[in-house]
Amino acid sequence: MADLHLTADRATTAESVAVDAALAAIGVDSALVMEDERLVRGGTHRRHARRHALLPALHALQTESGWISPGGLNYVAEVLQVPPAEAYGVASFYEMFRVDEAPGHDDDVVHVCVDAPCLEFAEAKIASLEAEGKHVHRSPCLGQCDRANANDGPALFIQGRQKANSVPADAPSLAGELWPLPQKHEPGLKLLKRVGRVDPTSLDSYVAMDGYKALARAFELGAEQVIEEVATSGLMGRGGAAFPTGIKWRGVAGADGEQKHIVANADESEPGTFKDRTIMENDPFALIEAMTIAGFAVGATKGWIYIRGEYPLATARLESAIEQARAAGFLGTAIAGAKSISFDLEVRRGAGAYICGEETALFNSLEGFRGEPRQKPPFPTTHGLFQQPTAINNPETLLNVLDIVTDGGAAYAASGTEGSNGQKLFCLSGHVTAPGTYEVEFGPTLREMIDVAGGVTGGELKAVLLGGAAGSFVGPDLFDMPLTMEATRAAGASLGSGVIMAFNEHTDFEAVCIRIAEFFKNESCGQCVPCRVGAVRQHELLIRSKGKVMNGELQLLEDMDRVMKDASICGLGHTASTAVRSAISLGLIGAN
Amino acid sequence: MTAVESTTAKSANGMTETLVTIQVDGRPVSIPEGGTILDACSKAGVSTPTLCYAENLTPVNVCRVCVVEVENSRTLVPSCSRVAEEGMVVQTDSERVRHSRKMVIEFLDTSVDLSQTTAPTSNEAGGRNLADWAAEYGADSSRYGPAPQTMDEEVKIQDNLYIRDYDKCVLCYKCVEACGDDAQHTFAIAVSGRGFGARISTEFDVSLPDSACVYCGNCVAVCPTNALQFKTEFDLREANNWREEEQSVTRTVCSYCGVGCNLELHVQDDTIVKVTSPNDHSVTSGHLCIKGRFGWQYVQPTIQRKPS
């Protein structure tokens, strides 16, 4: 085969069949590669044309064989014309792929979450699973923090061997139980208004609950006016960076490029975050409609949902919803009767890498490269997915667009507070009575939110991890701070992805902080020196100082934080020390 | 980089180029449009440490040792890859810049064997090497505890042409680029793994002879830390007989084919010990093929070849 050099290892028939099926599902015909070879398409073109199929192909191999075997990798390399060294570089980047033939790859792999709040239940569960002979993998946050408690233990995710992946806690939802929220259904809910009431597997049910009315309204308004309404609304991104959505969309609409993209960043991996899972599992059509509106607004005909690999139920529901929407004419060409408008969607699964929630790392991952962030500028609005203009938004952000289009940007801007318009989803977890996804109009304080979730359990509230592992701990002096963009910013904190993780007075903060440091160490992509080494040195420092970070060590920690903030390529490095340093300044760990 | 003094200038090919002017440490510097901050620093005579940058490779801006402070930028920016924009105000020696550069050097020094990173790692000819920069910024690697985690790799000796000592690897990606679309288009190696466990590797770490490697040696030529070494150099170093200061370098033309690649023969004790090509040579840009790079034994037929 051409000029690819492959080792003598060959795929089993089962492996090649599995890969072919995965490729066919995304429109890549593996038989065509021979044909293409005769067309003398060389160099960059050949490397990129089918490269985006690499991740789905690796998923198929992993599921079939329980690891990425040399023969299987060779087959993928040959079919996609990806050099095997590069394909190996990609495979070895992800948590869900294993590239060694260690014993155990014949089993299902049970991923056990070891991040707070699962942390305190994890080791006991791992011990009992291992005693049962299960193959266990210690996993970073699985996005089920609402389910962690002393009775049920930590969050679990089962990576299936020769069968679909699954989450044990999804069983009730799969059996038709609808209500996923601790929050009582209130008339004020907007983002979650259908959640628990609509049948997430039925387009008819969605349409019966005002589904696709916003898209019809968007067509009435016209693309430019939709962007105008979004800009007027003051909507800011809900993924953590709080960038104004209207500005982003204007940038994409005005960018040169024949092909533009809408990407939903559903790689929800920030420890403590599970709100997007709530949306996607329970109201998948809403995300699809919102993305369709976004595509119409910015002139993108192609949409992608990059969803984290550990969300099998959300993935299945989105894929089914996309099929139904396409069959009903809500996706494809001439959507919803608008002859000139085309928009279609594809779901792509991540494979276990926190960094792929960084937007440019996500693009690289989706394109079939290692999930390493790109240096910005250039920005995604002009050089995004496949180097084409791209609007990439968090699912929650996109969901807000439905009401903005329906009710107008001005009405949206009138809700919330001065600097934070509209509704917000918060992920409450840890030592609260009723963990879960909560929707409020911007304004309540941290203490009020914890009260909404039934208050603290197991003792007095000592601290809250606000914004996730990339956020910071806040103590009693900020419990009465309104949870708005402006108030948190003024306090030197951040709402991040809406994480409110409560810790009572009996928490072992040293263990929590060491785990946070380990999380960043494990999740750094390794590309830039400040983060690759800094995250390791921070973890070492915490272990070395046994929770008593003082004097010279304190200075070193600060020095490391500064270089990671100043000189890392992306937000992972920028925020890798934030939580630990806040824990020290609050006296949760350290000498104070 | 063509020297230019006014707001437009004639480039080497006679075209008029547009210039951009930026401030480097308070002084205006004009460079052709599309040039980087590092180009402007070089033009201004400002010495900048670099590790992953090479003039014959696409900048990957991963080592972060060349970072500078740009007014209104929240973070520091890598000077090697950031294109200079009209009116940019750049500080190359501020406290923030010095701090980050110092920390990057400390991080590398505690992780990697930098003992053979002796070549200049600067944008100036004959400039400072990494140890000089470490002294300049006051790097102190002793403050990271008794046993900071290191690369901890064994030397890979798989053939008679070059060795790989990943204990010395700073993951600058240069070898990957030279093997890939910046020069050779062989793609025998890539970055594998993640985080501190990331390594330069063939697929499943198969040996080089089993991989796609064509032994052009262009990866060796671009390696800044001697993690990749010609076997001849490695053997002499092992024998404690590598005397770089006594070596002569003779420029000649490769005799194998008609392309005209220039070679630099590095000679010690009347024996060729390695072959390079000048980065500024118009034919090679520093890159060679296996014949030019390794096929020089015929020049000294008395040297006995070792069985491989």
Taking an 8 Å cut-off on Cβ atoms, the answer to whether B195 and A535 are in contact is yes
B71: burial class by Cβ within 10 Å (0-12, 13-18, 19+)? Answer: exposed
Q: Do B212 and B233 fall within a single domain?
A: yes
Inspect the interface and report whether the beta carbons of B104 and A567 lie closer than 8 Å. yes
Q: Look at residue B301 in the predicted model and tell me its pLDDT.
A: 67
- The CATH number linked to B118 is 3.10.20.740
Of the candidates B121, B152, B151, B124, the one whose C-alpha atom is nearest the C-alpha of residue B134 is B121
Question: Which residues span the domain enclosing B17?
Answer: 8-143
Point out the domain boundary residue: B143, B166, B194.
B143
How high is the pLDDT of residue B7? 62
Residue B1 belongs to some domain of the structure: no
Interface A-B, measured as beta-carbon pairs within 8 A, has a size of 166
In 3-state terms, what secondary structure has residue A247? helix
Q: Which two tokens stand for residue B69?
A: 């402070």
**Model pLDDT for residues A70-83, shown as the tens digit of each residue:** 999 999 999 998 99
- B185 in contact with A, Cβ within 8 Å: yes
Q: What Rg value do the Cα atoms of chain B yield, rounded?
A: 21
Query: Is residue B262 in a domain?
Result: yes
Give how far B252 is from chain A: nearest CA, Å.
32
Is residue B27 located within the same domain as residue B125?
yes
* pLDDT reported for residue A337: 86
Angle between the N-to-C axes of helices A529-544 and B95-111, in degrees from 0 to 180, rounded to the nearest 10: 70
User: Do B159 and B136 share a domain, yes or no?
Assistant: no
* Count of beta carbons in the 10 Å neighbourhood of residue B113: 19
Mean pLDDT for each consecutive 10-residue tract of chain B (308 residues)? 51 76 98 97 95 94 97 97 97 98 98 93 85 96 96 97 98 97 94 98 97 97 97 97 96 96 96 95 95 93 60
CB contact under 8 A, B107 and A527: no
**CA A203, A276, A570, B204 torsion: positive or negative?**
negative
Q: Tell me, yes or no, whether B69 and B171 share the same domain.
A: no
Nearest CA in chain B to A551: B143
B149: in domain: no
**Based on the domain organization, do B167 and B283 belong to the same domain?**
yes
- What are the chain B neighbours of A361 within 8 Å (beta carbons)? none
Are the beta carbons of B62 and A88 separated by less than 8 Å? no
Same domain, B53 and B128: yes
Residue that is written with structure tokens 């007027």 in the block: A232
DSSP structure string for A484-495? SHHHHHHTT---
Residues B198, B70 share a domain = no
Per the listing, tokens 């090919």 go with: B13
Which chain B positions have a beta carbon within 8 Å of A526's beta carbon?
Answer: 171, 191, 193-198
Among chain A residues, CA nearest to B202: A85
Q: Looking at beta carbons, which residues of chain B come within 8 Å of A85?
A: 187-190, 192, 201-203, 211-212
Q: Which domains does chain A have, with CATH numbers?
A: 13-91 (no CATH), 109-168 (no CATH), 203-413 (3.40.50.11540), 423-504 (3.10.20.600), 509-585 (1.20.1440.230)
Tens-digit pLDDT profile for residues A371-398: 999 999 999 999 999 999 999 999 999 9
CB of B20 within 8 A of CB of B60? no
> Would the CB atoms of B212 and A70 count as touching at under 8 Å?
no
Q: Please tell me the predicted confidence (pLDDT) of residue B5.
A: 46
* Same-domain pairing of B162 and B274: yes
Element holding A428 (H helix, E strand): strand A423-430
Decide which of B98, B120, B143 is a domain's last residue.
B143
Closest CA to A60 of A34, A103, A81, A30: A30
Which residues of chain A carry a pLDDT beneath 50? 1-2, 40, 592
Same domain, B133 and B199: no
Residue B212 has a CB neighbour count (10 Å cut-off) of 22
**One domain for residues B12 and B131:** yes
Asked, as a colleague might, if the bond just before A476 is cis with ω within 30 of 0, I would say no
Q: Could you tell me if B106 and B167 lie in one domain?
A: no
Residue that is last in its domain, among B108, B123, B143: B143
B68 in A contact zone (CB under 8 Å)? no
CB–CB contact A562 B103 (8 Å): yes
DSSP state of B66: T
> What is the model's pLDDT at position A47?
58
- Within-domain flag for B308: no
The SS3 call for residue B232 is helix
Assess if residue B119 is contained within a domain.
yes
Q: Would you state the structure tokens that stand for residue A25, as one six-digit string?
A: 């599902």
For the entire predicted model, the pTM comes to 0.96
Q: Which of B81, B190, B196 is facing A89, going by the closest CB pair?
A: B190
Task: Return the pLDDT at B4.
Answer: 41
Q: Cα(B195)–Cα(B184) distance, rounded to whole angstroms?
A: 27
Substitution target in A365, A529, A538 with the highest count of B β-carbons within 10 Å is A529
Query: Which chain A residues are within 8 Å of B110, Cβ to Cβ?
Result: 533, 537
Phi, psi of A289 (to 5 degrees): -65, -45
Tell whether B148 is covered by a domain.
no
Looking at residue A33, what is its pLDDT?
Answer: 65
User: Which of A358, A557, A563 is most worth mutating to test chain B (most B CB atoms within 10 A of its CB)?
Assistant: A563
The b-or-e profile of A482-503 (16+ CB within 10 A means b, else e) is: bbbbebbeeeebbbbbbbbbbb
ipTM: 0.95
A87 touches chain B (CB under 8 A): yes
What CATH number corresponds to the domain at position B244?
A: 3.30.70.20
**Total domain count, chain B:** 2
Is residue B90 one of the residues assigned to a domain? Answer: yes
- Please name the residue of chain B whose CA is at the shortest distance from the CA of residue A101: B204
Residues B286, B160, single domain; the answer is yes
Asked if B67 and A537 come within 8 Å (Cβ–Cβ), the reply is no
Indicate whether B58 belongs to any domain. Answer: yes
